[in-house]
Amino acid sequence: MRRLSAHLGGPRLWVKREDATGLGFGGNKLRKLGYVLHEAVAARADVLVSGGVVQSNSQRQVAAAAARLGMECHLAVHHGRVAPPAPEYATSGNALLNRLFGAHLHDVPWTGNRSAAIEALASRLREEGRRPYLVPYGVSNPLGAVGYASAIVEIAEQSRALAVRPTAIVHCTGSGGTQAGLVVGASVAMPETRIIGIDIDAEPERVRSDVIAYARAAADLIGALSTRATSRSSPGTPVPATACRMRQPSRPSGLPERSKP
């Protein structure tokens, strides 16, 4: 990102194009889904249940993955967390793609509880005789975090190929799983690289708490997998930190802005 680096008068900047990961127009949730949905398939689930705000990227990627797997998808769509910027907000963009992917949308009011409506929807489907698999808000849980711990290995390999030694990886953090995985992976594969999460939800205490909890549990999962595969113990658990929100112009980078769930 030479022009953006020059515009900021700062260090060399590189971008990891997680918006170009493929399925359902891409996004960072696909790395998490690669692990989480393996569990859903193993459990013989017949329907995926998740949720998010109206234009959630997470919902769109869950709906696309469900279509690819031949599963039904039900989404709890939260209204009221953000004010609609235009009349077509609820029918365009990701909201339209969710319908095109065949998802069933259930409108619910935003109460501040990210999980309650998703859990209630899963419970209702279970009572109807279905076998739902609950994909958490933002696909953030310990298993989802493992997806980003493994992503660090990819980043480390690409950095070596480019003769780059990143001093920091900066990313958006909200539901916490991405940052948790990055911290765990970096503690092993890129120990000199800082992981800086930009809190897009303006809930620093909640985000920090979630990141720490997911990181510890993901490290335990990786340790269990490593022990099962190689009979070797896992590394220690890091303690992540969440940075405050910041904004910078996107125009010099030439990259489009993308909404965040």
Last residue of a domain, one of 116, 139, 162: 139
Per residue in 201-232, pLDDT (tens digit) is 889 999 999 999 999 999 999 885 544 443 33
Amino acid present at 177 = G
Range of the domain at 182: 2-16+141-253
Considering 112, 139, 166, which residue would you say is the last residue of a domain? Answer: 139
Domain-embedded: residue 32: no
pTM above 0.85, yes or no: no
Would you state the structure tokens that stand for residue 59, as one six-digit string?
A: 């919902």
What is residue 224's predicted lDDT score, i.e. its pLDDT?
58
* Residue 248 and residue 147 share a domain: yes
pLDDT at residue 243 tops 90: no
Q: Would 260 be classed as within a structural domain?
A: no
pLDDT in tens, 152-163: 999 999 999 999
Q: Do 76 and 105 reside in the same domain of the chain? A: yes
Catalytic residues: 56
Domain boundary among 85, 108, 139: 139
Rounded Cα distance, 103 and 171, in Å: 29
Angle, alpha carbons 55-74-93 (nearest 5°): 20
Q: How many domains in the chain?
A: 2
In this structure, are 135 and 187 located in the same domain? no
CA dihedral 158, 162, 168, 170 (to 10 degrees): -60
pLDDT at residue 56 tops 50: yes
| Mean pLDDT calculated for residue range 243-252 | 34
Residues 93 and 162 reside in one and the same domain: no
- Structure token digits, residue 17: 């194009």
Q: What is the mean pLDDT of the chain?
A: 86
What is d(CA 106, CA 28) in angstroms, rounded to the nearest whole number?
Answer: 24
With contact defined as beta carbons under 8 Å apart, do 163 and 58 qualify? no
**CATH value at residue 82:** 3.40.50.1100
